[in-house]
A and B are shown apart, each in its own frame.
Chain A
Amino acid sequence: MKAEGGVIGRLDDWLNPIVVKELRQAVQGKFVSAALILLLVVQLAALGIYIVSNGDFADRFDAGRTAFMFLLGILLAVCLIFVPAYTAIRLALERDTNVDLLFVTTIKPSAIVWGKMFAALTITVMAFSACLPFMVFTYWLRGIDLPSIFILMAIAFLMVTIAVQLATFVACIQAGRVLKILLSLLVFLFFPQAFVGLLSWSYFALSHGVGSRLTTWDFWGPASTVLLISSAVIGLLFSLSVAMIKPASSNRAFPVRLFASSLWLVSGIASAAIGYFQRDSTPLSVWSILSVLVFGAAFFVGVSEREQLGPRVTRKIPDGALRLPAFFLFSGGANGVAWCALMCLMTFVVVQLLTSKSTTLSAGGSMSSSQAWTAGLALYAFAYSMAALFIRRRMLSRWIRPRLTWVVGFLLLAAGSLLPILLGYLIVFGNFRKAEDIGGWLVTNPFALGIDSYRTVYITFAGACSIIGALINADWFIEQIKAFRPHVGEPATISLELNR
């Protein structure tokens, strides 16, 4: 009893319940154990076959590297596909059915996502630990050094973490079974690409010697950039996953927007600093285009948010000067669109200001081209999301709920990107031509911004569509702006507090 109430008891209380349950199930069950044993057997067999079939290693100096690549391939194949799928399917089942009833308990949404992640990463660590002796053994076959082995395994682990977080995010999305399966298939297409990409990069890195560069900026520069970008992606997906499983009545967009805005600021400062020290505008260009891609996608999320805020959110709306910034950060359809538009505009203006004031920051790259991309992508995303919003509100409101407006948006985007050029090919020009010759047919395709000769036309077209989109949805905006005022009345929690 003493131990239960003491330090061990307190440590036990801190443990995430999901982690405890998932690991107990993993240990008591046969599935995970069988998968781990199978992985070990396959690694052992692969290494054994390689050694036996290659016989004499006396004059070979790359045997270790080749063997390591084989083993890394096997490990990644298992961890990039099995672990994310295992985690996502279990969470999706718990969300869709009564199997686990996680969502009836008082456990916090962040604890659910974190617990699932931690449990999945523990299984990943177990898999990596099981394979580590075989992979370290390749050092004695020559052609690879120990630091390279550990660094590549660390990068592989980081990639698996992103894959698990991505799979968890998809499992958290509130959608019908068919839509969810389609989304899962779409996301799981990423994993084979990640697998091939990571293996190719690992081979390239090994060929150029990773271990020998450990003390140089050549290693730590890219390594820290990869680590920071990965952390940002994981953090963003984590905050999105938590928001997805929060009650719809809560102010669930607030932490996501706060996180994304902070990330935008920090990454912007970092990009400007790197660009300044390297006398190159590329980091800032990459940052601005990536930012607009994220906020452009967020337009579609914004138009799918709730249009009427409940008392739970309105109770938290501040009065006075803070009401304006709160409007951009709080949940709500108009709020989401306004936030995305503001972030896109700020990205454009900040880059414009920085490059016009500093010749160092505008050196080396084509800043005007990246600024055109930034403006064009933002305008196209806004125009498509506004068109989707209008169609859903005015034509499909009986069949499609607001939260699925993004599906209409993506269908429009797909149709706009493909249909005109297909029709042109079938009806007008009849054979393949250079993009420059048929640029007019690509005016509804945001990805055609790369055609220099038509870029001004495209941006003008997207701008005009954006203005029309804003005008036809003006009533939607005005209604929500008017409704964004602090809740008047007794706080609903008072009676509860008194009863506790």
Chain B
Amino acid sequence: MKIEVSHLKKYFGATRAVDDISFTFAAGQVVGFVGPNGAGKTTTMRVLSTLDEPTEGDATIDGVSVVEEPEQARKLVGYVPDALPGHRDISVHDYLDFFARAYGIKKPKRSLVIGGVEEFTNLTGIREKTLHALSKGMKQRVSLARALLHDPPVLIMDEPAAGLDPRARVELRELLRVLAGQGKAILISSHILTELAEICNAAVIIEQGKLLMAGAINELISTDATRRTVIIRPLGSPEGLVRDLLEMPHVESANPAGGEVVVEVSGSDEVCSDILIALIQRGYRLAEFKQHRAGLEDIFMNVTRGEVQ
């Protein structure tokens, strides 16, 4: 199972919401779809879910074009939009029953499927409640349950963690881990990058409709590893240490912060190791020497400029 987005463009009048984006991901991968507001994430996801048609380009899911064969593509995709279900007059169970019918799941199987999905998303206890009476977290679970009814191999989730409390977020993360473990390909957008970094093994970063970076998280971090931040806590006054550090090659800056020194280093892990050896050789007694590893958040801040169209 491979999802291939190829030269996708979507224009709204003069606005280029998505401008020639290409990337691929496969079964079992959880891909973070990252970008500032208005970057084109939702538009791309709506095209992948067959809700919108691209101006140009295409996306294929297991070889099925979302443009040319949307009816077939819909069988392969589960879409969780950023808008939550908010009907006033329908219970959770009836809502899921409607979508199960809409996906053509027949009677003996339908009850089992709905029951299974309710259990998986922990909705069994509230299945008779009406949708509008649910909390945001619970509505998000209903949305996920709906997307899972036809057991799609691909899940597209637009800001599923937005507005959720910490507990609901942790629970959602666990659900996603299980789903990824089942071999589903998941494309997920979120503004909470630390959350994404924990569950994603790949990321796609876009801004102003253009693709900035795409690849496995580790690859992205190593691509972005020309600079390191090292935090040193000496067992004495940091003043002499700062002076010595600034004289060393590759050290761009060294700033005392409380009892610590924050050092910006241009170079690889080897350079950091050389600095540590040099400091010990000069007789400094260090309580702590740690490298702050770049995360998705750092990469995002480095590659994007926060511009919107």
Contact = CB atoms under 8 A, between A and B. Distances in A.
Interface of A: 1, 4-5, 9-10, 12-13, 15, 17-18, 20-21, 24-26, 28-31, 97-99, 101-107, 247-249, 310-312, 399, 492-493, 495-496, 499
A28 B129 CA distance: 12
11 contacts: A9-B106, A21-B90, A21-B98, A28-B90, A104-B79, A105-B74, A105-B103, A106-B103, A312-B68, A492-B63, A496-B69
A125 B83 CA distance: 34
Give the interface size class of chain B. 35 or more
Contacts of B64: 492, 495-496
A106 B74 contact: yes
Interface string B51-71: 101000000001111011111
B51 A492 contact: no
A396 B128 CA distance: 54
Contacts of A28: 89-91, 94, 130
A20 B90 contact: no
Contacts of A496: 62-64, 69, 72
Given A249-B67, A312-B69, 18 more contacts: A17-B102, A20-B97, A21-B90, A25-B87, A25-B89, A28-B89, A28-B130, A30-B89, A31-B89, A98-B82, A101-B79, A102-B102, A104-B74, A105-B103, A106-B103, A106-B104, A310-B67, A496-B62
Contacts, number: 109
A103 B72 contact: no
Nearest to A248: B53
Q: Which of B68, B71, B85 has the most chain A CB atoms inside 10 A of its CB?
A: B68
Given A4-B108, A25-B89, A249 B70 contact: yes
A492 B94 contact: no
Interface of B: 13, 49-51, 53, 62-65, 67-72, 74-75, 77, 79, 81-83, 85-91, 94, 97-99, 101-104, 106-108, 111, 130, 146, 150
| Those 5 A-B pairs whose CB atoms lie nearest each other, nearest first | A29-B89, A17-B101, A9-B107, A105-B102, A98-B83
Given A13-B107, A21-B90, A105-B103, A247 B70 contact: yes
A98 B81 contact: yes
B88 A492 contact: no
A492 B90 contact: no
B108 A9 contact: yes
Residue from the set B83, B101, B111 with the largest chain A CB neighbour count within 10 Å: B101
A99 B106 contact: no
A239 B106 CA distance: 27
Given A5-B107, A98-B81, A98-B83, A107 B89 contact: no
B49 A310 contact: no
Contacts of B68: 249, 310-312, 492
A492 B83 CA distance: 33
A18 to B, nearest CB: 8
A25 B90 contact: yes
A105 B108 contact: no
A417 B64 CA distance: 49
Given A28-B89, A28-B90, A98-B81, A107 B102 contact: yes
A97 B83 contact: yes
